[in-house]
A and B are shown apart, each in its own frame.
Chain A
Amino acid sequence: MASRLGNWLDERTGWRGNWTAVFLRKIPRVNWAYTLGSATLFTLIIQVVTGILLTLYYVPEPQQAYASVTYITNEVPFGWMIRGLHHWGASAMVLLAVLHMVRVIIYGAYKYPREVTWITGVFLLLLTFAFGFTGYLLPWDQRAYWATVVGTRIAEVVPVIGGSIKDVLLGGPEISGLTLSRFFGAHVWVLPSVLFLLVGIHLYLVIRNGISTPPKRDE
């Protein structure tokens, strides 16, 4: 039955060829360090699922943000778990992405023909940091507030345009409800749009070019 449905779909969509190319592709003999990219992707999926769920209760507005987060944590059933997964998943994703990058550096996997994969990966890491920075403000507690004050002051030290960068980040001369709005908008709309595009290119290139073999002794 499942195989007949599979055939019916395959005749109309050609999904088997894609399935084979993606999941049953030949790979060289590698080690566990090669799973770090997939692990990062896994944490990304966790972040997307839990993040979407959190928006059902979270309100990005100064009077309500902290109260809604407290409500999620203490009163919504499994709210502590969904928020906890998103909180710890964020750190895990940064950690795994960095380890993934270290593996690519050590094995020289950024070399021809995988330079474009590397470049998209660098931007993906920067995007991950941007997710972390914008998401950190959203609980709207003291730690979030002062972390954003400090973070945007760091942006301010850029020569000449630093002040403008800070003002654009904050949505004004100082941190306010407008900052919360734009950090939320960036966190759930702007950054994901760019991230998904880059993840798509990154994964396409991983599959198209195949993964690199670990370097040999004589290389």
Chain B
Amino acid sequence: MEEDRDPPEALEDSSAPLGPFDVTEPSRRAFLIRSIAAIGGAITVAIGVPSVVFVTGLARATTGEETWIRLGLVSSIEPGAPPTLMKATVVRRNGYLMEEQGVSVFVTTENGSEFTVLSNICTHLGCRVRWVDEQDGFFCPCHNGVFSRNGDVVSGPPPRPLDRFESKVEEGQLFFKEA
């Protein structure tokens, strides 16, 4: 048929009588628009809510149980000496992976029987601090934070002292627990 041979002109006939949000008339069109919105909204919620939980759910869950981590022989730490950086390896479960992670802490003792275990993580933005003998303090290279021997803030941006961990000595070995 001749009329079907003509290229369609759908775009030219787009001046529809009703605007996109004109749903005041209780017409067939208004009913269909409302139905589409309701069904579409229901599907969006049915997939959207689980999606948000899928993304955020595990991030809020805590990973590790607290255990004593062995650092090494207490005899290697001299009373009054500069803080000793001691390293340990812990195995952590991250999702489906068992991952070995290195942990480092600074250990000091004044009398050889009581030990102070300090985190080496700057309380400002998480860079690692190092002990600088000339300054007699911990120095963070990222934003020049300085902490004293016992972890207190001396200068720079850190908001609070270095974290202090619980420790114990058993059979000459020093252990600490991550808080």
Q: Name A's B-contacting residues (CB within 8 A).
A: 2-3, 6, 16-17, 19-21, 23-26, 46, 49-50, 53, 56-57, 64, 67-68, 70-71, 75-79, 81-82, 85, 112-113, 207-210, 213, 219
A209 to B12 CA separation, bound complex (whole angstroms):
11
- Neighbouring A residues of B7 by C-beta, 8 Å: 113, 209
A141 to B60 CA separation, bound complex (whole angstroms):
30
A21-B14, A24-B16, A25-B10 known; A71 vs B95 contact (CB < 8 Å): yes
8 further contact pairs, Cβ within 8 A, besides A16-B20, A68-B95, A219-B1: A26-B13, A50-B47, A53-B54, A57-B95, A64-B96, A77-B54, A82-B50, A209-B8
A207 to B13 CA separation, bound complex (whole angstroms):
12
Interface residues on B, range: 20 to 34
- Neighbouring B residues of A6 by C-beta, 8 Å: 20-21
A71-B95, A113-B8, A207-B10 known; A24 vs B20 contact (CB < 8 Å): yes
- Neighbouring B residues of A213 by C-beta, 8 Å: 4
CB–CB A75/B95 < 8 A:
yes
A56 to B57 CA separation, bound complex (whole angstroms):
12
CB–CB B11/A208 < 8 A:
yes
A10 to chain B, nearest CB (A): 10
The 5 A-B pairs with the shortest beta carbon distances in the complex, nearest first, are A77-B57, A210-B10, A78-B50, A71-B96, A210-B8
**Residue B51 contacts which of A21, A67, A82, A207 (CB distance < 8 angstroms)?**
A82
Q: Residue of A at shortest CB range from B40?
A: A42
Q: Residue of A at shortest CB range from B4?
A: A213
Interface residue B81 (Cβ < 8 Å from any Cβ of A): no
**Residue A64 contacts which of B18, B20, B47, B97 (CB distance < 8 angstroms)?**
B97
Interface residue B5 (Cβ < 8 Å from any Cβ of A): yes
- Neighbouring B residues of A24 by C-beta, 8 Å: 14, 16, 18, 20
CB–CB B1/A19 < 8 A:
no
- Neighbouring A residues of B8 by C-beta, 8 Å: 113, 208-210
- Neighbouring A residues of B4 by C-beta, 8 Å: 213
CB–CB A23/B20 < 8 A:
yes
**Residue A26 contacts which of B5, B10, B55 (CB distance < 8 angstroms)?**
B10
Interface residue B19 (Cβ < 8 Å from any Cβ of A): yes
**Residue B53 contacts which of A2, A26, A78 (CB distance < 8 angstroms)?**
A78
CB–CB B1/A112 < 8 A:
no
B157 to chain A, nearest CB (A): 33
Interface residue B58 (Cβ < 8 Å from any Cβ of A): yes
- Neighbouring A residues of B54 by C-beta, 8 Å: 53, 56, 76-79, 81-82
CB interface residues, B 82-128, toward A, < 8 Å: 95-97
A207 to chain B, nearest CB (A): 7
Most chain-B CB neighbours within 10 Å: which of A50, A78, A85, A209?
A78
Most chain-B CB neighbours within 10 Å: which of A21, A24, A70, A210?
A24
A183 to B39 CA separation, bound complex (whole angstroms):
35
- Neighbouring B residues of A64 by C-beta, 8 Å: 96-97
A118 to chain B, nearest CB (A): 15
Could you give 25 example pairs across A and B, Cβ below 8 Å?
A6-B20, A6-B21, A20-B14, A20-B15, A23-B20, A24-B18, A26-B13, A53-B54, A56-B55, A57-B95, A64-B97, A67-B96, A71-B96, A75-B95, A75-B96, A76-B54, A76-B58, A77-B57, A78-B51, A78-B57, A82-B50, A82-B54, A113-B8, A208-B10, A210-B8
A208 to B50 CA separation, bound complex (whole angstroms):
37
- Neighbouring A residues of B14 by C-beta, 8 Å: 17, 20-21, 24-26
